[in-house]
Amino acid sequence: MSEAAGSRVVEFAIAGMTCAACSARLEKVLNRQPGMQANVNLAAERARVRLAGEADEGAVIAAVARAGFAASLVDKDTRAREKARRAADYRREIRRFWIAVALTLPLVGQMLFMFGSAQHHAELPRWLQLALATPVQFWIGWRFYDGAWKALRGGGANMDVLVALGTSMAWGFSAAVTLFGLAQHVYFEAGAAVITLVLLGKLLEARAKARTSEAIESLIRLQPKTARIERDGQWVEIPVDVLMPGDIFMVRPGESVPVDGEVVDGSSSVNEAMLTGESMPVAKAPGDQVFAATANGQGALRCRATGVGEQTLLAGIIRLVGEAQGSKAPVQRLADRISAVFVPVVCVIALATFAGWWWHSGAFAEALVNAVAVLVIACPCALGLATPTAIMVGTGQGARAGILVKNVEALERAEKIAVLALDKTGTLTRGEPQVTDIVPLAADADEALRLAAALEQGSEHPLARAVLARAAAVDLPKVVNFSATPGAGVAGEIAGRALRLGAPEWLGMADDPAVLGLQRQGKTVVVLDAGGVALALLAIADALRPTSRVAIERLRARGIRVVMLTGDNAATAAAIAHEAGIDEFRAGILPGDKAAAIAELKSGGLVAMVGDGINDAPALAAADVSFAIGAGSDAAVEAADLTLIRSDLCGVDDAIDLSRATLGKIRQNLFFAFIYNVLGIPLAAFGMLNPVVAGAAMAMSSVSVVSNSLLLKRWRPQAR
């Protein structure tokens, strides 16, 4: 959910939800409260609530409590507390499960000895069956009664209602037969086995669900706990939490960078794969940015902290991934609507089954067993877990590959992209001028570069920075009598030789064929002149990113129409488009007109936009799906649905591939969940399903859905 004027979004950890009916009911309860708009995620056990007006956090916690659950504000320690609580709960449930197994095995084992025999001589004494089944029913199974009571008290019904009602009917009938000595078969084994199997399913489900959040856990584990900072000339190790912007910190070889910062001294290479997915180390020198949790190589770096705590890039990634995992895809709406009415409908079907069988056969026990089977086989858990588990795994895999998903709805739409609009500068290209050609005329290329760079020393002009970057490893001579002519060029003397470097028009070479040829390629040309003799031509351009052409080829292979939008002149646009393999472009578009161009392109289908600058923000907001280049402006990143941390257009194709993989898993999960109930409930109603078998099938349905989602962990971005 995005922030609205006068409102804020707060995240709560929710305890006590057991199935989709719980999350659907809680969401409905919260959305009925004044000033609240909620989104509840069963798999993540989170509720994101937009508060407006007089609504506050206390009102949310109170409303959740009235609905039968518990809520607490999410803070930096919440995940650790939840992990510890879940581990303790898991250990406790494991112990209870094995106790349930020990008590249930004799009840189920007797059925093996009785199988095929008309006599019940192998049957355990009924008082012993009652003694074995009762602890399983009311101690081990107390969680189902507690959950059912809270659900009914809150005005809803969930899976706990089905399990508690079904097993209670089996136990109650069997207990009455035992206590009153009636000549009827008892079904203690059915109720005990169902509770044991459902508990096993819950344990397996909890174990599988824990794996869906591994992406965030692995990111959190990357965060260093301490930093080495400079205090009064001494290096002191302090907790990273107390580091302040502006502090100078040291990163020794092999250590992780504690916070975001800027290198002030030293050089090294840093492995940023955990943030960008790029395996090659990135060279770092004074002035370069470093990011928290990235791994330093062989050199030591002195850095100035620029982003600490929640302001680091890693913290932003963790926050975005968490928000995406907690959001709800449109495809889940159908499952939510069904889950909301599922339990009441199942209860009606069970009642109809009981009445129909009793009327048809006159056998109360047979009617009861079939009604219990209906209650036990029906489970809305699989429906509730189908979408969020796939989204949690999918967005986690995306984060590992440098694709941050801010809007899950956009991830769902990504597979339907028909038109992709691209900004040029900083998106297709590197976003900074580079010397692409040195054409020697009366001097060799190396000497020309050395002289040109010497003249440009101290200049902050983008073209000057490009020349100096190209000559970074060259020893530059001293320049005297330096002068600059605005809009034309610079002049000076080197070793008694008068030199000029500037525009072809200034130096009388505007009509030179070599100059015109380079300009037709969309390049800016400067001339190095000595006493009226042209020594060399230097061509400067915003070079294409190395992977841009490959990315365009991959997108076009998917049948996507690619359109470049740029404010540059037609000649430059044509040159870049040709180099990138783009057939369609629109040049001379003002920033305010890009959004209108996006609206026009929508006639060709669903439109995506990729941009990096502030001027791209309106177009990104107007597109159906928007991608921001990670190195771009904050405004572009804020307006976009997905951010490509690697600043690599191949990430767009990878995001589309991830969208298709994730949506494929969601559809498979929903199919399995629906078909399971569509087949299972009629089989139980027609007496073709034993309650024990129904319990096992119900327990495994949720496990199968979560396990299917975990197969997304095999997804990998294509090799560049």
Q: State residue 246's pLDDT score.
A: 87
Q: State residue 1's pLDDT score.
A: 42
- What is the spatial distance between Cα 189 and Cα 202, in angstroms, rounded to a whole number? 20
Q: State residue 418's pLDDT score.
A: 94
Tell me, yes or no, if the pTM score tops 0.75. Answer: no
Q: State residue 225's pLDDT score.
A: 85
Query: From its phi and psi, is residue 60 left (phi > 0), alpha (psi between -120 and 50) or beta?
Result: alpha
Compute the chain's Rg from CA coordinates: 34
**What is the pLDDT averaged over residues 701-716?**
84
| Bridge partner residues of 561 (DSSP) | 419
Q: State residue 2's pLDDT score.
A: 42
**What is the pLDDT averaged over residues 447-454?**
93
Q: State residue 13's pLDDT score.
A: 86
Which amino acid, one-letter code, is at 435? V
The candidate with the shortest Cα–Cα distance to 399, out of 620, 705, 626, 658, is: 658
- What is the spatial distance between Cα 699 and Cα 378, in angstroms, rounded to a whole number? 10
The highest-confidence range among 272-276, 451-455, 609-613, 617-621, by mean pLDDT, is 451-455
- What is the spatial distance between Cα 274 and Cα 570, in angstroms, rounded to a whole number? 40
**What is the pLDDT averaged over residues 270-281?**
63
Phi, psi of 441 (to 5 degrees): -120, -65
User: Tokens 């609504």 belong to which residue?
Assistant: 55
Contact 565, 619 (CB under 8 A): yes
- What is the spatial distance between Cα 123 and Cα 106, in angstroms, rounded to a whole number? 10
Q: State residue 450's pLDDT score.
A: 92
Catalytic residue among 423, 612, 624, 648: 423
> Which tens digits make up the pLDDT trace of 468-487?
988 888 888 999 988 888 76
Contact 563, 511 (CB under 8 A): no
| H-type alpha helices, 602-719 | 617-622, 634-639, 650-685, 691-710
Strands across the sheet containing 489-494 = 429-440, 533-544, 524-530, 497-502, 489-494, 480-485
User: Tokens 């189902």 belong to which residue?
Assistant: 144
pLDDT at 114 over 50: no
b/e map 74-96, b = 16+ CB within 10 Å: beeeebeebeeeeeeeeeebeeb
- What is the spatial distance between Cα 382 and Cα 154, in angstroms, rounded to a whole number? 22
Percent of the chain topping pLDDT 90: 19
Q: State residue 363's pLDDT score.
A: 82
Contact 209, 83 (CB under 8 A): no
Distance of CA 400 to the CA centre of its chain: 9
DSSP 3-state helix, strand, coil percentages of the chain (rounded to 5)? 55, 20, 25
Q: How confident is the model at residue 119 (pLDDT cuts 50, 70, 90)?
A: very low
Burial class of residue 440 (count of CB atoms within 10 Å of its CB; 0-12, 13-18, 19+): middle
Distance of CA 434 to the CA centre of its chain: 35
Q: State residue 634's pLDDT score.
A: 55
Q: How confident is the model at residue 607 (pLDDT cuts 50, 70, 90)?
A: very high
Contact 350, 691 (CB under 8 A): no
DSSP conformation class of 476? P
Q: State residue 500's pLDDT score.
A: 93
Contact 11, 318 (CB under 8 A): no
**What is the pLDDT averaged over residues 56-76?**
87
Which amino acid, one-letter code, is at 591? P
The two structure tokens encoding residue 487: 């809009």
- What is the spatial distance between Cα 371 and Cα 369, in angstroms, rounded to a whole number? 5
- What is the spatial distance between Cα 649 and Cα 661, in angstroms, rounded to a whole number? 19
Percent of the chain topping pLDDT 70: 82
Contact 276, 645 (CB under 8 A): yes
The answer to whether residue 423 is catalytic is yes
Handedness of CA 198, 200, 204, 209 (dihedral sign): positive
> Which tens digits make up the pLDDT trace of 220-252?
667 788 898 877 778 888 888 888 888 889 998
| H-type alpha helices, 313-443 | 313-326, 332-361, 364-377, 381-400, 408-414
